[in-house]
Amino acid sequence: MTTAQDGRVLVESAEIGRVIARLAHQILEPDDAQSGIVLIGIRRGGEALAQRLAGEIARISGKAPALGFLNINLYRDDRVTHEMPESQIPVDINGRVVVVVDDVLYTGRTIRAALDAVTDLGRPSAIRLCVLVDRGLRELPVQADYVGRTIPTSRRERVKVALSAQRAPSDEVVIHAGAS
């Protein structure tokens, strides 16, 4: 693989495009997805992926899914408080299939916070999880329903995803040695 700065590029732009297309097809497969899904990107990491998935789902099915964004800061158990925009959920999620979207699945703590936030918004018929990268090393029993790439890592490594809302040559997944 090529290198980016002090890390190794594991997934480049062209492959990310193919992975997003595959994920969109998988999200559309279940019968309950045909009744209208709600994609909810976790603020910062999951936003661009949710936008890309929404575009691909619209291209495939001819119908754009509802798209929202979730700020989980209030739900985190590790007191991470990055400044970010508030949640934007444009539709009622009661009785709908919600697909929570994030870039990297690691310990499971971000997803636990997202689940708490989603259930505070209503009672979906199902909540599914879609991630671009599953790097393993869970601290909580969380498993994604849709995974772009599984990339085993050590706790010392850091996975960085650069992803634009529209396909771009700069899209990549890079692994860096050092602190996670």
Average pLDDT over residues 19-39: 88
Query: Among 66-70, 84-88, 124-128, 130-134, which is the least confidently predicted range?
Result: 84-88
As a whole number, mean pLDDT of residues 64-91 equals 86
Amino acid symbol at 79:
R
Question: What CATH architecture is 3-176?
Answer: 3-Layer(aba) Sandwich (3.40)
Kindly tell me if the per-residue pLDDT of 140 is higher than 90.
yes
Span 132-159, average pLDDT: 97
Is 8 or 35 the better-scoring residue by pLDDT?
8
Provide mean pLDDT across the span 118-136. 97
pLDDT at 72 over 70: yes
Total-model pTM? 0.92
| Three-state SS at 107 | coil
pLDDT given at position 79:
64
- On whether the CB atoms of residues 99 and 126 are closer than 8 A, the answer is no
Domain residues of the chain, as ranges?
Answer: 3-176
pLDDT of residue 108: 96
Is the model's pLDDT at 46 over the cut of 80?
yes
Rounded percentage of the chain residues whose pLDDT exceeds 90? 82
Tokens of 175: 């692994």
Residue 93 and residue 35 in contact, taking contact as beta carbons nearer than 8 Å? no
Over range 107-127, report the average pLDDT.
96
Higher pLDDT, residue 32 or 41: 41
User: Mean of the pLDDT values across residues 174-180?
Assistant: 80
Q: What's the pLDDT band for 180 if we cut at 50, 70, 90?
A: very low
The predicted structure's pLDDT at residue 40:
98
Conformation bin of residue 95: beta by default, left when phi > 0, alpha when psi is -120 to 50: left
- In order of 32, 65, 67, 74, the CA distances from 97 in angstroms are 7, 11, 12, 23
